[in-house]
Structure 1
Amino acid sequence: MEYSRTVRAAAVQISPVLFSREGTTEKVLQAIAQAAQAGAQLVVFPETFVPYYPYFSFVQPPVLMGKEHMRLYEEAVLVPGPVTDAVSRAARSYGIVVVLGVNERDGGSLYNTQLVFDADGTLLLKRRKITPTYHERMVWGQGDGAGLTVLETAVGRLGALACWEHYNPLARYALMAQHEQIHCAQFPGSMVGQLFAEQMEVTIRHHALEAGCFVVNATGWLSPEQIAQITPDEKLQKVLMGGCYTAIISPEGVPLCPPITEGEGMAIADLDFSLITKRKRMMDSVGHYARPDLLRLHLNASAWSVMQDNHGAASALPDLLSAEAGSFTTNHRIHEQTAVDYGASVSGSEAG
């Protein structure tokens, strides 16, 4: 791992083209170009940005949201497919790492999926949110432990989580144990108001401090006109405002540029990797500050499938990840085909 480099990162706060996969994808491609023109080597987009976050599920009861749910199915992203092909070409053309949130369709199910493209256009990871939150459970299926992985990319060791996955300390620790240098966080934005923005700030700054890594956080944004499109009820419209905090945080928990809390924009900052060592010299949660004799993480890092034949019986055995003081041993594999490898998620913790 290299700790003597500087990487320029961009976090995009942006509104989707509601009800249009093609329209939103075009905005993604334009933003990638703008980030590259600003010298960015990494660009991060909001949670399930393509085609749009399912805000309808937050303001409609399940019995009434069938029409909008079906429309989301029609506009959802296939992986691989035209959207991933277009983003891959843009990443390769500009030599930029792209982290994009999409609503992924796999047969009859939708998933909250994070895609990581390397600077050569390679789709390195497709991970699914391990547990959709509250209203989201009526929209998305669950992910598995195969997505809790840190990647070697052109900008360093990179990990990603979506929204309230950051409130699962074991999921965060799984990435910390793999020595992530840049953590990419994604939230929907335009929800719950100022309280959500304040909670988000606390959450990402805490992870930066605890992990000793940079956090690049992107949130979505809805215009007043878009909010009215989602619901005509003025009382419900109020819960689709605020809740935006697009920011880049240093390993010392310090914002590296002014956060964006309203409207569209792009937060850009230079990440000096020497700050990782500066922070971890004092407190390394997975190194000299760990106590594996007392506390350890056990992770089922397998991708699971609902079907396998007898010849594949051995592949059903879980891969185990053990994060111990200063060491990280695993036979974890990156599964690029998690579209068909659906199943169990984090199995919990154990005392050692």
Structure 2
Amino acid sequence: MSSIRIALANIEIPADPQDSVERALVAVREAASAGAHIVCFPEAYVPGYPWPTRKRQAVDASFLQQAHERVARAAAENGIGVLLGTERYVSEKPRLCVLVIQPDGAVAGFQDKVQLDPYEDPLYEPGNERRVFEIAGLRFGIAICHEGFRYPETVRWAARRGAQLVFHPHYAEAEAGEFQPSQFADPRNSFHEKTFLCRAAENSCYFAAVNCASAGSPTTSAVVKPDGTLLVFQPYGQAGFLMCDIDPALATGLLAGRYRGDESYSPFSSAA
């Protein structure tokens, strides 16, 4: 395999949970039509991230199950792998997670968000393990929002287990008075986009971050090469797919493999 095409669904924020499902179904079809092998959605795209300034309808396990089944059918009908930012219930409290679906519609599993943002503590329970997945010959891990921004070990963990790319579904909207960038990793902006470059370079793997499209967004979707240089980014606030071809052979995992720190402090299991 010389290259694989990935699509980051840098699409509009859904109006409500039902709208999120319909938009996701359209996006799966469109990404497949554009030749993508895998499409990745932002954090909690279905049913929608509960941003503090947004009101969101509550959803139950039944709604999520039906939504996941519909997206899985769309993946099979279009022959594309899907990483759906979503939620699931393991107990009475939901978890933020990414549902991984194979191109034949089979569910490969979930990556739960292990490291929650403090704001999320009252809303969600954390997961307790990390996984790596494979679609179309590409081995990858997933670090969800806060995890990838503030916990480098979430990306290193995957790279040390053979991940050639780590997807970073996240969610960020503009807040009043903050800097609104037009160029990737602008020095006047927050630290967040700079971490994309670091996570790739310090682990010799690709790093693919995906956010929703919204006016004045402080972060956009971007793909960084294993040497820490930017491959491509989506214009800020512009809805659409960020598409690119990557060469997995360039992701050697060299620097991640040279890490000699103690991983025993981490809450992550070694499940793969």
Q: TM-score, normalised by structure 1?
A: 0.67
CA contact (8 A) 1:10 1:216 kept: no
CA contact (8 A) 2:64 2:87 kept: no
TM-fit CA distance, 1:300? 5.5
Give the residue type in structure 2 aligned to 1:250. K
SS in 2 for 1:212: coil
SS in 2 for 1:46: coil
1:275 aligns with 2:250: yes
Deviation digits for residues 13-54 of structure 1, max 9, x if unmatched?
Answer: 1223323x2221110111111111111101111001111111
CA contact (8 A) 1:213 1:250 kept: yes
Measured in 1, the distance between the counterparts of 2:96 and 2:57 equals 12
TM-fit CA distance, 1:155? 4.0
CA contact (8 A) 2:206 2:224 kept: yes
TM-fit CA distance, 1:177? 1.4
Q: 1:285 aligns with which of 243, 255, 265?
A: 255
TM-fit CA distance, 1:11? 0.7
Counterpart in 2 of 1:129?
A: 113
Measured in 2, the distance between the counterparts of 1:130 and 1:143 equals 4
Counterpart in 2 of 1:171?
A: 154
CA contact (8 A) 1:6 1:273 kept: yes
CA contact (8 A) 1:220 1:244 kept: no
SS in 2 for 1:140: coil
Counterpart in 2 of 1:255?
A: 230
Query: Stretches of 4+ moved more than 6 A in 1?
Result: none
RMSD of the alignment, in Å?
Answer: 2.5
SS in 1 for 2:30: helix
Measured in 2, the distance between the counterparts of 1:191 and 1:134 equals 19
Counterpart in 1 of 2:193?
A: 201
SS in 2 for 1:120: coil
Measured in 2, the distance between the counterparts of 1:79 and 1:156 equals 31
Identity of aligned residues (%): 24
- Which residues of 2 match residues 50-61 of structure 1 at below 5 A? 50-56=46-52, 59=53
Give the residue type in structure 2 aligned to 1:213. C
CA contact (8 A) 2:170 2:210 kept: yes
Measured in 1, the distance between the counterparts of 2:192 and 2:36 equals 24
Counterpart in 1 of 2:135?
A: 153
Change (3 A) 1:155 1:91: farther
SS in 2 for 1:215: strand
Q: TM-score, normalised by structure 2?
A: 0.86
Measured in 1, the distance between the counterparts of 2:61 and 2:234 equals 29
Which protein is bigger by CA-based radius of gyration?
1
Change (3 A) 1:40 1:244: same
CA contact (8 A) 1:244 1:260 kept: no
Flag structure 2 segments of 5+ consecutive residues without an equivalent: 186-190
TM-fit CA distance, 1:173? 2.1
- Which residues of 2 match residues 261-340 of structure 1 at below 5 A? 261-277=236-252, 284-287=254-257, 289-291=258-260, 295-298=261-264, 321=270, 332=271
1:25 aligns with 2:21: yes
CA contact (8 A) 2:72 2:105 kept: yes
CA contact (8 A) 1:208 1:215 kept: yes
Measured in 2, the distance between the counterparts of 1:263 and 1:139 equals 30
Counterpart in 1 of 2:82?
A: 98
SS in 1 for 2:121: helix
Counterpart in 1 of 2:188?
A: none
Flag structure 1 segments of 5+ consecutive residues without an equivalent: 61-67, 224-240, 303-320, 322-331, 334-352
- Which residues of 2 match residues 4-153 of structure 1 at below 5 A? 4-19=1-16, 21-56=17-52, 59=53, 68=55, 72-73=57-58, 75=59, 78=62, 81-106=65-90, 108-145=92-129, 148-153=130-135
Measured in 1, the distance between the counterparts of 2:115 and 2:259 equals 27
Change (3 A) 1:83 1:134: same
Give the residue type in structure 2 aligned to 1:296. D
Measured in 2, the distance between the counterparts of 1:254 and 1:18 equals 35
Counterpart in 2 of 1:185?
A: 168
